[in-house]
Amino acid sequence: MIAQIFFLLFSAAAISFAARQFSRLVQNIRLGKAESIPGETSVRLRNVLLVAFGQKKMFKNMLPAVLHLFIYVAFVITQIELIEIFADGITGQHRVFWPILGGFYTFVISFIEVLSVLALIATIAFLARRNVLKVKRFQQPELKGWPFKDANIILYLEVALIFFIFLMNSADMALTQNEYGFAVSRYLSPLWAGADAGTLHLLERIGWWGHIAVVFAFLNYLPISKHLHILFAFPNTWFARQNPRGEMENMPEIMNEVKSMLGLAPETTGNGELPEFGANDIFGLSWKNLLDAYSCTECGRCTAVCPANITGKKLSPRKIVMDVRDRMEEVGRNIRSGDTQYAPDPTKPLSKDNYQDGKSLFDYISREEIHACTTCNACVEACPVLINPLDPILQLRRYEILTESAGPGDWLPMFNSLENNGAVWAMPVERDAWARG
């Protein structure tokens, strides 16, 4: 009974702490502006099943896709054994499903063990790719420091999970003279030959408690890790925009100005105030942009195919998404602190509408980076979880050019020609003169 009470208290504490952390993430996402994302439910469902669950886009790069599949399938199927661990912990019984399922139970746990071996192979391969082979897309500047350590920490936790599973199962097999007949543990149980029953029971308990402890550690680590995509990939693919790639969001104010230049009646009328175009901070980005930032796997596929990055430009789409996330974390942390130094109006509580710390996304993302983007959508196509790194870049460029009236000097003649002549080339006659002739 004492063990059951301890298990329930331990589980409740770990789950409640994780819930508070995930609640913080939701609060941060809500710092973005509202956006309605229309789309067909059938397309949303297909995206979730094929892209998030089926990892369809991962297989454009076959080797890491297969290795990732080993870990992913093992992660999903192992939850069956985790359910049994919870059932055992709550009821105080041992392998509560064994007498119910019999031979099928042996098959399921054996299948989990085989998957765990494949996951271990994949985990070792991923550690080697990052730390020994030093694959180029994992050596970019934005991955220095914590992001690089973060990826390794998760891989070490996966090794620990697998170790405790086999410690638990193999000690249990030795204790019961291989009664369960598990496919892999039957070959590991001889390691404990000669150990007495008390030692074997202790080893089994270490494996049992070790496994659940690592699971809870993993759950509470996710909110500060890039591996948050394990959960957020599903809502992110569900809410992915369904408009054709390359189609940019229209700005009604600009559309009306162009119609006025062409002698057409504008569709809407403004209120007379000068609008703010684009975004210079997370408050100007949509909640979907912020969800994208939390869904990023930091795999670097977007940067690997970016023509600007390939040709030596400073732009890295992965860094843009990571910078949005880091800025969102900073703002969310400051707002939750309640410190009035961040409140333009100290008489009102800190909120997204009453916040100013003197910074913006331009303190994270340089002008040189956003100018280098060719808007080719290669990064959008490459992302395995349907993130759109291009959208924040466009929003920052729109703010710089349309709101700040700034931008690269090389672009200004084009803007002047477009405004004066309706074309990007300076011409001595009006653009449509040929049609009137």
Q: At what angle are helices 317-337 and 390-398 packed, to 10 degrees?
A: 70
Q: Is residue 400 scored above 70 in pLDDT?
A: yes
Same domain, 138 and 24: yes
Q: How many domains is the chain partitioned into structurally?
A: 2
Phi/psi class of residue 279: alpha, beta or left (left: φ > 0; alpha: ψ in -120 to 50)? beta
Average pLDDT for residues 166-185, to the nearest whole number? 94
Q: Which of 359, 364, 353 is nearest to 393 (CA)?
A: 364
Question: Where does 239-286 have alpha helices with state H?
Answer: 252-261
**Are the C-beta atoms of 43 and 239 separated by less than 8 Å?**
no
Angle of helix 2-29 relative to helix 62-91, nearest 10 degrees?
Answer: 140
In a 3-state reduction of DSSP, which class is residue 275? coil
Q: Is the pLDDT of residue 262 over 80?
A: no
- Shared domain for 221 and 285, answered yes or no, is no
Tokens matching residue 305: 């195919």
Assess whether pLDDT exceeds 70 at residue 273.
Answer: no
Distance CA 384, CA 382 (A): 6
Give the other-Cβ count within 10 Å of 302's Cβ. Answer: 28
pLDDT at 290 over 80: yes
Element holding 57 (H helix, E strand): none
DSSP 77-112: HHHHHHHHHHHHHHH--SSTTHHHHTHHHHHHHHHH
Domain co-membership, 168 together with 285: no
**What's 347's domain CATH number?**
1.10.1060
Least confident interval from 88-97, 183-192, 253-262, 334-343: 253-262
If asked whether residues 85 and 198 sit together in one domain, one would say yes
pLDDT in tens, 11-34: 999 999 999 999 999 999 999 999
Task: Decide if pLDDT at 90 tops 60.
Answer: yes
Regarding whether 293 and 204 lie in a shared domain, the answer is no
Say how far apart CA 310 and CA 303 lie, in whole Å.
Answer: 8
User: Do residues 297 and 186 both lie within one domain?
Assistant: no
In a domain, 22, yes or no: yes
- Same-domain status, 221 and 281: no
In terms of DSSP H, where are the helices of 189-343? Answer: 197-221, 229-238, 252-261, 287-295, 301-305, 307-310, 317-337
Under a CB-based contact definition with an 8 Å cutoff, are residues 42 and 245 in contact? no
Residue 238 maps to a domain: no
Joined tokens for residue 105: 């139970």
Residue 402 falls inside a structural domain: yes
Global pTM reads 0.91
Residue found by looking up tokens 């672009």 in the block: 411
Residue where a domain terminates, one of 163, 195, 226: 226
In a domain, 261, yes or no: no
**Domain endpoint, select from 207, 226, 245:** 226
Spatial CA neighbour of 402 closest among 282, 277, 279, 285: 277
pLDDT tens for 50-85 read: 999 999 999 999 999 999 999 999 999 999 999 999
Angle of helix 229-238 relative to helix 287-295, nearest 10 degrees, comes to: 140
Q: How far apart are CA 304 and CA 309, in angstroms?
A: 8
- Cβ neighbors of 93 (< 8 A, separation 6 or more) are 87
In-domain check, residue 25:
yes
CA dist., res. 208 & res. 366, Å (int): 49
Query: Is 45 contained in some domain?
Result: no
Is residue 248 domain-resident?
no
Q: Is the pLDDT of residue 269 over 60?
A: no
Site of tokens 């405004």: 419
Confidence of residue 268 (pLDDT cuts 50, 70, 90): low
Q: Identify the domain containing residue 139 by its residue range.
A: 2-30+61-226
Residue 249: CB atoms within 10 A of its CB come to: 12
Residue 251 forms part of a structural domain: no
